[in-house]
């Protein structure tokens, strides 16, 4: 048996005083074998990313190493000087960060960011650096690499930015690659491509990979070994086969049980219910650019979209980034004005309402946004954030705040949360607050725009169950926007699949998932990570 390429022994990271625990990582021990992929799995706050940052020497100043060793190449990385660590970073150990738009410099072209890596290590001439950037862009599958590396990050899609990040991580041919949640925010087809790319490059270059994720579907697709973290403590580790098929710890079993299985539950008929919202032939076209030497760019974001949703029913809209899902949500709420089409809210022509009437009618259709932290005012107590809508519509402040307390209880939070700020809550709790705020105006229609995509699987399951419960209790019509068909299966009565602004297939959930007719729907289903997970997992 060969010796491991990287060994972490009894690593302990001390947190600042006043938190929920003393150590971010407590007695963490594992080894990474040559040419293997180790998946570190756990929910937000488990210490996954801090482990990667410690290996890279990028630990935040507020967190202190309280003990342990990280052995690589015969040296303890916790004891090497900063210059040695800087030389090792990138050349021996590379890292792909979770959010490429944040990790990439927005003011530099991709070619310059790749070239900068060689320059920092004193390697190659400027011409050779550019040639190497083209070669790396080609290796990671960027289309038209010579052109695309001249782009700025904002000009690329999410998948293209992630490929650029992978190119940068591979530039100096490291022997260890750390990938920190590299596919979390990506569409299923793009996610499948990135996973396949990492797997292919790992095998071609003979690298060892630490892959950090909270998604057991990804683990089933890519892992050789698995380590499960809970609140900084290793609760289970072993081969992927053992952990997925024969989990021993209750936390691992809970994570596996929370993974959506894609099997829709049997749902009550809603054909006799009142139509809450009806959309007919909705269209939106964006025209950008245009000059003497550059033609205008015309994007048909939404093309002749039509659907209706009854009370007590959830319609899911599925598709990749750029398919027009979120644009439909903004058009339906009139946050963006459509070019043409009709929006009927109950018996009222919502799309034709003037500004004064629109302000009053908007309380009947509310949205829960994807990022609950960005959509909440960080300086405003959550009670006021929830009460603001009713107050604006004439409800006395005291009454509105009491309603906010009742709503917090309804979504499963303590009444004392009313006096706390958003940063004092977890992501799942913030999403519950966003849901309470949307319900404060007692809407007929609730729109959930990728509202669970950034959540851990256990929190995601709780929020989905809550949405289902509230829909039944309040007789809501719900438009549920997501890129994950397995998630949609849990809550949607019907699913509409969007591609390039058009609905290409719309049927009851069971029919669509059991026998998809459109080739694009079939592609989305085939790309879901961990397709074999249900066959590999056995939870007693």
- Range with the lowest mean pLDDT among 155-169, 266-280, 287-301? 287-301
Quickly state the pLDDT bin for 470 (edges 50, 70, 90): confident
Q: Provide the 10 A C-beta neighbour count for residue 52.
A: 23
CA distance 57 to 85: 7
CB atoms within 10 A of CB 96: 27
Residue 179's pLDDT band, with cuts at 50, 70 and 90, is: very high
Which is it for strands 296-310 and 275-289: parallel, antiparallel or unpaired?
antiparallel
Average pLDDT over residues 40-56: 91
Provide the angle, in degrees to the nearest 10, between the axes of the packed helices 519-527 and 188-205: 50
Q: What pLDDT band is residue 95 in, cutting at 50, 70 and 90?
A: very high
Beta-ladder partners of 449 = 481
- Residue 285, φ and ψ in degrees, nearest 5: -125, 135
pLDDT at 487 over 70: yes
Q: State residue 217's pLDDT score.
A: 83
Residue with tokens 């590999």: 536
∠ CA 385-387-388, nearest 5°, is 70
- Cα–Cα distance, 345 to 172 (Å, whole number): 57
Q: Average pLDDT, whole number, for the chain?
A: 89
Q: With bands split at pLDDT 50, 70 and 90, how would you rate the model's confidence at 52?
A: very high
**Architecture of domain 312-336+348-536 in this structure:** 3-Layer(aba) Sandwich (3.40)
Q: Is the pLDDT of residue 539 over 60?
A: no
Show me where the domains of the chain are located: 36-46+82-258, 312-336+348-536
Q: Look at 168 and 288; give whichever has higher pLDDT.
A: 168
Output the pLDDT for position 536. 43
Per-residue confidence at 532, pLDDT binned at 50, 70, 90? low
Mean pLDDT of 91-100: 87
pLDDT tens track for 504-528: 999 999 999 999 999 999 998 888 8
- Residues 435-444: tens digit of each pLDDT: 899 999 999 9
Provide the pLDDT for residue 1.
Answer: 53
Q: How far apart are CA 334 and CA 360, in angstroms?
A: 13
Q: Which tokens go with 123?
A: 């390697």
Torsional sign, CA 190, 98, 46, 31: positive
Average pLDDT for residues 193-218, to the nearest whole number? 90
Q: 73-82, 179-188, 529-538: lowest mean pLDDT where?
A: 529-538
Q: Tell me what the mean pLDDT of segment 375-403 comes to.
A: 92
Q: What is the pLDDT of residue 540?
A: 38
Does pLDDT of 273 surpass 80? Answer: yes
Confidence class of residue 465 from pLDDT cuts 50, 70 and 90? Answer: confident
Residue among 213, 207, 227 nearest 182 (CA): 213
DSSP state of 2: P
pLDDT of residue 535 exceeding 70, the answer is no
Q: pLDDT for 130-168, tens place per residue? A: 999 999 999 898 888 998 999 999 888 778 888 899 999
If pLDDT is split at 50, 70 and 90, which confidence band does 182 have? confident
Question: Quick check: do 36-46+82-258 and 312-336+348-536 share a fold?
Answer: yes
| Beta-sheet pairing, 445-449 with 365-368 | parallel
CATH topology of domain 36-46+82-258: Rossmann fold (3.40.50)
Q: What are phi and psi of 436, to 5 degrees?
A: -60, -40
Dump pLDDT digits (tens) for 350-370. 989 988 888 888 899 999 887
Q: Is the pLDDT of residue 537 over 60?
A: no
Please give the Cα distance from 359 to 219 (Å, whole number).
47
Report pLDDT for 2.
63
Amino acid 454: pLDDT: 67
Residue 114's Cβ-count burial label (10 Å; 0-12, 13-18, 19+) is buried
**How is residue 147 written in tokens?**
């052109």
């Amino acid at each position: 048996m060969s010796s491991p390429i990287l060994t972490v022994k009894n690593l302990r990271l001390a947190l600042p005083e006043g938190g929920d625990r003393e150590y971010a990582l407590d007695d963490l021990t594992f080894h990474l074998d040559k040419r293997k992929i180790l998946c570190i799995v756990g929910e937000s706050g488990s210490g996954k990313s801090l482990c990667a940052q410690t290996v890279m020497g990028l630990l935040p100043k507020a967190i202190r190493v309280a003990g342990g060793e990280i052995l690589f190449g015969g040296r303890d990385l916790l004891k090497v000087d900063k210059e040695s660590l800087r030389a090792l970073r990138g050349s021996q150990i590379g890292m792909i960060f979770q959010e490429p738009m944040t990790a990439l410099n927005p003011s530099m072209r991709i070619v310059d960011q790749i070239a900068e890596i060689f320059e920092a290590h004193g390697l190659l001439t400027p011409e050779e650096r550019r040639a190497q950037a083209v070669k790396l862009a080609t290796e990671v599958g960027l289309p038209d690499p010579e052109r695309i590396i001249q782009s700025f990050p904002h000009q690329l899609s999410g998948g293209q930015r992630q490929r650029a990040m992978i190119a940068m991580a591979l530039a100096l041919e490291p022997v260890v690659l750390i990938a920190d949640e590299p596919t979390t925010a990506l569409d299923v087809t793009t996610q499948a491509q990135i996973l396949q790319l990492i797997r292919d490059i790992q095998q071609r270059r003979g690298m060892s990979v630490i892959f950090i994720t909270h998604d057991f579907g990804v683990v089933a697709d890519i892992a050789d070994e698995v380590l499960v973290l809970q609140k900084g403590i290793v609760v289970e580790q072993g081969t992927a086969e053992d952990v997925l098929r024969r989990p021993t710890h209750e936390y691992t079993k809970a994570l596996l049980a929370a993974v959506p299985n894609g099997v829709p539950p049997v749902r009550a008929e809603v054909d006799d219910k009142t139509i809450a919202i009806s959309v007919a032939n909705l269209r939106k076209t964006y025209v950008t650019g245009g000059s003497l030497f550059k033609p205008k760019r015309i994007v048909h974001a939404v093309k002749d979209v039509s659907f209706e949703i009854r009370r007590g029913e959830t319609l899911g809209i599925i598709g990749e980034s750029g398919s027009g899902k979120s644009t439909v949500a903004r058009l339906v709420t009139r946050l963006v004005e459509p070019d043409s089409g009709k929006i009927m809210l109950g018996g009222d022509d919502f799309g034709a309402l003037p500004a004064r009437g629109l302000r009053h009618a908007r309380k009947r259709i509310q949205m829960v946004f994807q990022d609950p932290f960005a959509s909440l005012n960080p300086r405003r107590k959550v009670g006021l954030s929830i009460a603001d809508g009713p107050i604006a519509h004439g409800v006395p402040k005291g009454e509105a705040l009491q309603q906010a307390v009742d709503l917090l209880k309804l979504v499963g939070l303590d009444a004392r949360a009313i006096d706390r700020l958003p940063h004092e809550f977890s992501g799942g709790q913030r999403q519950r607050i966003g849901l309470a705020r949307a319900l404060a105006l007692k809407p007929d229609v609730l729109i959930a725009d990728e509202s669970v995509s950034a959540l851990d699987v256990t929190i995601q399951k709780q929020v989905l169950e809550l949405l289902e419960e509230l829909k039944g209790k309040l007789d809501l019509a719900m438009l549920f926007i997501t890129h994950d068909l397995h998630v949609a299966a849990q809550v949607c009565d019907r699913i509409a699949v969007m591609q390039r602004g058009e609905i290409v297939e719309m049927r009851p959930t069971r029919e669509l998932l059991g026998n998809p007719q459109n080739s694009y729907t079939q592609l989305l289903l085939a790309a879901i990570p961990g397709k074999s997970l249900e066959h590999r997992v056995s939870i007693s």
